[in-house]
Amino acid sequence: MAGARPLRIWAVSDGRAGIEAQALGLAEAVARLKPAHIGVKRIGWKAGLGRLPWRLIPPGARTGDAVAAPYPDIWIAAGRATLPLSSRMLKWSEGRTFVVQTQDPRAPLDRFDLVVPPEHDGLTGPNVFPILGAPNRITPEKLALDLARFQDRLAPLPHPRVAVVIGGKSRAHDLPLAGARALAAEIAHAIQAAGGTILLSFTRRTPAPAREAMAAALAHLPGVIWDGSGENPYFAFLAAADAILVTEDSTNLATDAGATGKPLFILPMAGRSAKLERFHAELRRRGIARPFAGELTAPPYPPLLETDRAARELLRRYDGST
């Protein structure tokens, strides 16, 4: 594989922000431990073929960035769209590429050198390394850099600053209009009682009626409500916050917030997921997060640095395979 030269790593996904962050975050964590060049690959499939089981998707129907030899030293992929390629990469590279898949691939594990799923998926195996949450791109340096870009808007805001990140519709959860309005009222009451400010952001999955209702209901508070235009202040909000509130539908949001070491509170939504309930229970057990009940302060905890732990394990196995 690689000698003294920098590692060549490809971070592969379908390009959606939350999915790409897992592959890219793990790649960046490896690069912090060992010199590496990271290439980002975004994969798509023609004519809706991506909805088929991965075994039935012909690799030649791929769209997006080129995936061809020479292959990288380390392939780190996330998401269902990458499986028709990830599952064949060991064969295509004749074993010279170390193949890593985040999440549960729901494919034979022997097609990968390493699988990094969330603990709450319950996946086990000799090449499985579960972590709490999902890989992410959070580092103190990244938070500081993003905060600097928004410093003019955020620095004058009084404390406590409360970052509120709202998810949306998924297989297990939803945010109906009535629920969004009730949630906004509870958030507003807590921030007003603390004399604080709001840093509000939505995800692409937030239903438009819920987004509009919450933005309107919280507009009277001092702070910043991101309307989706211009540069995304998500990381700057996390860096500037004294407390962080995220909805219960997303592993990524809670993992990102937990990496800051700041008080973290989980906002309820309609629906339920047994897997996410296990995830939140473990966050509570470790003192990282708790359900939102109007409070904005909580005891300190060590930042959640699972991406770095996964990167160390990845390199340990990679070095042992060379």
pLDDT in tens, 169-194: 999 999 999 999 999 999 999 999 99
pLDDT at 1: 43
- Name the stretches of the chain with pLDDT < 70: 1-3
Residues 191 and 267 in one domain: yes
Domain membership flag for residue 66: yes
| Residue 233: per-residue pLDDT | 96
Centroid of chain to Cα 129: 17
Counting the structural domains of the chain, the total is 2
Same domain, residue pair 65 and 109? yes
The pLDDT, as a whole number, for residue 59 is: 87
Domain interval for residue 219: 140-291
CATH number at residue 287: 3.40.50.2000
CA 147 to chain centre: 19
The pTM of the full predicted model, rounded to 2 decimals, is: 0.92
* Phi, psi (degrees; rounded to nearest 5) at 203: -105, 175
- Residue 127 belongs to a domain: yes
Q: What is the C-alpha to C-alpha distance for residues 235 and 256, in angstroms, rounded to an integer?
A: 9
Predicted pLDDT at 3: 52
Same-domain check for residues 261 and 119: no
- Same domain for 147 and 113? no
Which residue type sits at 195? G
Task: Tell me, yes or no, whether 106 and 189 share the same domain.
Answer: no
Verify that 23 and 54 share a domain, yes or no. yes
Residue 67 lies in a domain: yes
